Chain A
Amino acid sequence: MIKSLTLKPIRGLSILLALLVLAGLIVVPLAEIFIQSVYRDGELQWAAPFRTIADSDSAKVMLNTVWLGLCVIAGTTLLALPLAWIMANTAIGRSRWLDIVLLIPFMTPPYIGSMGWILFMQKNGYLAQLLPGLSGLTPAFFSFAGMVAIMSLHLFPFLYLLLRGALERIGGSLEEAGAVMGATPLYRFRRIIVPLLLSSFGMGAMLVFVKTIAEFGTPATFGRQIGYDVMTSEIHRYISSWPISFGSATSLSSLLLTACLLMWYMQSVLSRRFTYSLVGGKGSRRASLRSGGPVLGISLVFVALLLLFSIGIPYFSIIAASTMKLRGAGLSWDNLTLDAYRELLRWGNPGMKALMSSIWLSLAASTVAVVLGTWCALLIRRSNTAGQRAVDLISLMPNTVPGIVMVVGLILLWNSPWMPIPLYNTYGMVILTYVILFLPYTVQYVKSAAGQIDGSLMQAGQVFGGRPLYLLRRITLPLILPGMLAGWMMTFTISARELVASLLILPPSVQTSATFIFAQFEQGEVSLGMAMAVVSVGFTTLILIIMESLGSRRKWNG
């Protein structure tokens, strides 16, 4: 075909260009971390990272991190497994709104959730005011167990979604087939449910582990209060407070990076080997209901408690704190005021400035990310060639790499003495960081939208005389537009709340909503900080809802 003859070199060049761009943006900063960690004082010291690690403090921090990861796996399992069973097997699972509500904990930025818990549980906090008898719990909560609880309540939706999906598919015909073939319930559980569930559980557990060891928000707020240091908070300390030690930061970063990449690799191997394709072409029928009786009652109580702990308490605390007139006066109706909001949203107020910079930085970042991500996703297509697979792998890498590690790499690269582009300490650097951190969202969404375009749609366009560019405009773009919108929206939402990059990369004297909240919570007016938290979570959620309702009004998808 002449078409392919003329297009092939262009596509090849395009892939090469994309690889160069992605390498410059993502691979080089990460490589810089490894290089810097072994290259000290102008010479190569292979032992340097190990010396840092052998340092007793670092070793303890690492153990802390791993132990936290394992405990959070246990915590999320305790929450997610019963929930998945309830949602797959009882009438409660039929309510659609619950599906959406259960995503709230995971859409809540962890630092905001932790602040909510701190406000609730601290001495003279809301728990002590509401139920004075339970104030004895405070010291017990401000401990490692409390940290595990907060993180589990934030991360359980991941595991829940995976487990529920698996349970629903098993619960239908697969288990019934076992029953018809004469297997007792116990035997069915052992030979059918457990093996099929195990692969989903393994994947979910690894995901939770990686998310836990990469998380910064909770360690930076709650962890700091109880003095439990993990790798992310330690890296932050090394590069932000005196004495600054980039050597230690890079050593820890390369270690964390290695751990995450290793987990990610194990997960992909596991998923290739032990995942059964449970998704058939036929819509699998749901298992028959086990409703009524004590089971339903217990289930209802469980779900209600879970919602209370994962959403109710944090949000109650944040909202209560943001509407408090006098901090000492406690919870009462006459202590209620909207002053904090008025103060925050006044033009010229630092809070309003921070909010505005958050909005325009996120707008810029999400727009750039959509363009770059769509380009990558369209190049990847069905990842047939090595080049396409490489684009796929690299563009999704920031999803695997802990945010703080990515940020450290970017600082090392753009702040290095030989860097000719003076981007560091400008707004451009912030936008670039957001783009890199959240590029995977657009790539994923657009890729899945493009994957649903059947090959014959394009071939039909060709046969009916469409040139490649015309086909891109009339067929591909309209069909991937929902994916692009979703990517844009996700990037905007998440950048607007992003904490770690904002803390480390913002130019001096500039604040975003996240750093504003963080600063006000640490030393300042809690009510102002919490008002900002409500505003930033509120408006990003509003955007999500608007976009969602726009998307569902698409005519050709009804």
Chain B
Amino acid sequence: MDLHIQKLSKTFGQTVALHPTDLLVRSGTFTTLLGPSGCGKTTLLRMIAGLETPDTGAISIGGDTLYDAGRKRDTPAHKRGFGMVFQDFALWPHMTVFENVAFGLRTACRTRDLRENVMKALDKVRLAPMADRYPHQLSGGQQQRVAFARAVAVQPRLVLFDEPLSALDASLREEMRVEMLSLVRDLGLTALYVTHDQTEAMSMSDEIVVMQTGRVLQAGTPEEIYDRPADPFVARFIGRSNWLAPRGASDGQGETAMFRPEHLRWEPVNGAKCASYEAEVLQSSYMGDRYEVHLQADGQPDRWTAYSASRIPPGNRITVYLPENRIRVVKLHHSN
């Protein structure tokens, strides 16, 4: 049951939250909407959940049309049968952990084996002993896991994640990321995940959809997105990028070129055609596993970053080499 989104758009007053957008989430995959705040990713997610009404377009899942502006179809949120993990968890404070998880099963009148099903979901997140506690008696990570158990207890067609890790502190976030991903994989869920954290997106997703100012800039596997960014914004937002001077004045037809820091070498690479640049070392920062070196190459407008195994003192002049097959030409969009 794939989720199809066609020409979906939304405007709040004067501001366009989402330009007409197409999107496909394949059954059983983990898809991430990635972008800075205000890029429209949360709006898109909430429209899929049925919490916002789109202006135009259509949403369907496995042949079942949930929303169609043209045919005036709109399934209300409570009939869509999705699970959702909210940013602030949204656990009902007056219900126990058990009742929170049981809620979706009760509304669907699936009360046969209710206790068993709820405990199964809680077991998955290792919270079965906490079933009778109230949300405020749990730690942040435990609340997060209850929210997750609640979302999957109903065996939803699709689980929506609205920046679920942003309310946790950094070390817990790392831990929950691994745990949540393995649960999603174990249960074979279809997941749509919204985040502004590129590490989360890169490490968890089968497919990443990068968004900015209400548009999808690029969709692809994490490798594609990192290796072949289709847009300067994507290149800058995901991973680090070094930018080359536009080659020749006539070449300025809205094109620019970049490469990743790890591809800048200190000596020529055998069997690859390399461009060489004279550069001055500005700064060398020790990161533990390597040195991060900031360079100013002659004739280049932007500073570059490169990685080195040993310290290079600032002020040194050196020659650096860049394999030409590592250079990516990126088209400038008119909108930018």
A444-475 Cβ-contact flags toward B at 8 Å (1 or 0): 00000000001011011111111100100011
User: In the complex, what distance in Å separates the CA atom of A5 from the CA atom of B86?
Assistant: 25
Tell me the residues in window 533-558 of chain A with beta carbons closer than 8 Å to chain B beta carbons: 555-558
A5 engages B74 (CB within 8 Å): yes
A459 engages B94 (CB within 8 Å): no
A460 engages B84 (CB within 8 Å): yes
Contact partner, A4, options B49, B53, B78, B136, Cβ 8 Å? B53
Q: B81 to chain A: which residues have CB within 8 Å?
A: 465
Q: B93 to chain A: which residues have CB within 8 Å?
A: 457, 479, 556-557
Tell me the residues in window 1-31 of chain A with beta carbons closer than 8 Å to chain B beta carbons: 1-5
A463 engages B53 (CB within 8 Å): no
A contact residues, total (Cβ < 8 Å)? 26
User: In the complex, what distance in Å separates the CA atom of A462 from the CA atom of B46?
Assistant: 12
User: In the complex, what distance in Å separates the CA atom of A466 from the CA atom of B92?
Assistant: 13
Whether A462 contacts B76 in the complex (CB less than 8 A), given A456-B88, A474-B103, comes out as yes
Closest chain A residue to B101 by CB distance? A464
Q: B333 to chain A: which residues have CB within 8 Å?
A: none
Closest chain A residue to B150 by CB distance? A464
Whether A463 contacts B84 in the complex (CB less than 8 A), given A2-B75, A556-B135, comes out as yes
Is the CB of A172 closer than 8 A to any CB of chain B?
A: no
A467 engages B90 (CB within 8 Å): no
B94 engages A2 (CB within 8 Å): no
B78 engages A456 (CB within 8 Å): no
Is the CB of A478 closer than 8 A to any CB of chain B?
A: yes
In angstroms, how far is the closest chain A Cβ from the Cβ of B184?
17
B87 engages A456 (CB within 8 Å): yes
A465 engages B84 (CB within 8 Å): no
Closest chain B residue to A477 by CB distance? B94
Contact partner, A459, options B86, B108, B137, Cβ 8 Å? B86
Q: B137 to chain A: which residues have CB within 8 Å?
A: 558
Q: B134 to chain A: which residues have CB within 8 Å?
A: 555-556, 558
Closest chain A residue to B154 by CB distance? A464
User: In the complex, what distance in Å separates the CA atom of A5 from the CA atom of B75?
Assistant: 11
B45-57 Cβ-contact flags toward A at 8 Å (1 or 0): 0000111010000
User: In the complex, what distance in Å separates the CA atom of A111 from the CA atom of B79?
Assistant: 58
Q: B86 to chain A: which residues have CB within 8 Å?
A: 456, 459-460
In angstroms, how far is the closest chain B Cβ from the Cβ of A536?
34
SS class, residues of chain A in contact with chain B: helix
Is the CB of B166 closer than 8 A to any CB of chain A?
A: no
Is the CB of B104 closer than 8 A to any CB of chain A?
A: yes
B76 engages A3 (CB within 8 Å): yes
Q: B229 to chain A: which residues have CB within 8 Å?
A: none
Whether A475 contacts B77 in the complex (CB less than 8 A), given A463-B50, A466-B107, comes out as no
B135 engages A454 (CB within 8 Å): no
In angstroms, how far is the closest chain B Cβ from the Cβ of A223?
49
Is the CB of B40 closer than 8 A to any CB of chain A?
A: no
In angstroms, how far is the closest chain A Cβ from the Cβ of B109?
9
Contact partner, B94, options A454, A461, A466, A556, Cβ 8 Å? A556
Tell me the residues in window 129-149 of chain B with beta carbons closer than 8 Å to chain A beta carbons: 134-137
A1 engages B94 (CB within 8 Å): no
Q: A456 to chain B: which residues have CB within 8 Å?
A: 86-88, 90
Q: A557 to chain B: which residues have CB within 8 Å?
A: 93, 136
Q: A462 to chain B: which residues have CB within 8 Å?
A: 50-51, 76-78
Is the CB of B80 closer than 8 A to any CB of chain A?
A: yes
User: In the complex, what distance in Å separates the CA atom of A2 from the CA atom of B93?
Assistant: 28
User: In the complex, what distance in Å separates the CA atom of A2 from the CA atom of B53?
Assistant: 9
Q: A556 to chain B: which residues have CB within 8 Å?
A: 93-95, 134-136
A463 engages B83 (CB within 8 Å): yes
User: In the complex, what distance in Å separates the CA atom of A1 from the CA atom of B80?
Assistant: 11
Q: A467 to chain B: which residues have CB within 8 Å?
A: 78, 107
Closest chain B residue to A554 by CB distance? B94
B76 engages A1 (CB within 8 Å): yes
Is the CB of B304 closer than 8 A to any CB of chain A?
A: no
Which of A454, A475, A556 is packed against the most chain B CB atoms within 10 Å? Answer: A556
Closest chain A residue to B49 by CB distance? A463
User: In the complex, what distance in Å separates the CA atom of A121 from the CA atom of B91?
Assistant: 59
Is the CB of B98 closer than 8 A to any CB of chain A?
A: no
User: In the complex, what distance in Å separates the CA atom of A459 from the CA atom of B160?
Assistant: 13
B88 engages A466 (CB within 8 Å): no
In angstroms, how far is the closest chain B Cβ from the Cβ of A384?
13
B50 engages A466 (CB within 8 Å): no
Tell me the residues in window 59-80 of chain B with beta carbons closer than 8 Å to chain A beta carbons: 74-80
Whether A465 contacts B79 in the complex (CB less than 8 A), given A460-B90, A556-B94, comes out as yes
A1 engages B77 (CB within 8 Å): yes
B108 engages A1 (CB within 8 Å): no
Closest chain B residue to A558 by CB distance? B136
Closest chain A residue to B73 by CB distance? A2
B94 engages A465 (CB within 8 Å): no
Q: B136 to chain A: which residues have CB within 8 Å?
A: 556-558
Is the CB of B259 closer than 8 A to any CB of chain A?
A: no
B78 engages A466 (CB within 8 Å): yes
A475 engages B92 (CB within 8 Å): yes
User: In the complex, what distance in Å separates the CA atom of A558 from the CA atom of B137?
Assistant: 8
Closest chain B residue to A456 by CB distance? B90
Q: B135 to chain A: which residues have CB within 8 Å?
A: 556
Q: B82 to chain A: which residues have CB within 8 Å?
A: 463
In angstroms, how far is the closest chain A Cβ from the Cβ of B78?
5
B90 engages A479 (CB within 8 Å): no
In angstroms, how far is the closest chain B Cβ from the Cβ of A471?
8
In angstroms, how far is the closest chain B Cβ from the Cβ of A301?
42
In angstroms, how far is the closest chain B Cβ from the Cβ of A468?
8
In angstroms, how far is the closest chain A Cβ from the Cβ of B190?
15
A459 engages B90 (CB within 8 Å): yes
Shortest Cβ-Cβ A-B pairs, 5 listed: A465-B107, A464-B104, A456-B90, A462-B77, A3-B76
15 contacts between A and B (CB under 8 A): A3-B78, A456-B87, A457-B90, A459-B49, A459-B90, A463-B83, A464-B154, A465-B79, A465-B81, A465-B107, A466-B103, A479-B93, A555-B134, A556-B93, A556-B94
Q: Given known contacts A3-B77, A462-B78, what 6 new A-B pairs fall within 8 Å (CB)? A: A3-B76, A5-B74, A465-B81, A467-B78, A467-B107, A556-B95
Query: Interface residues, chain A, CB within 8 Å of chain B?
Result: 1-5, 454, 456-457, 459-467, 470, 474-475, 478-479, 555-558
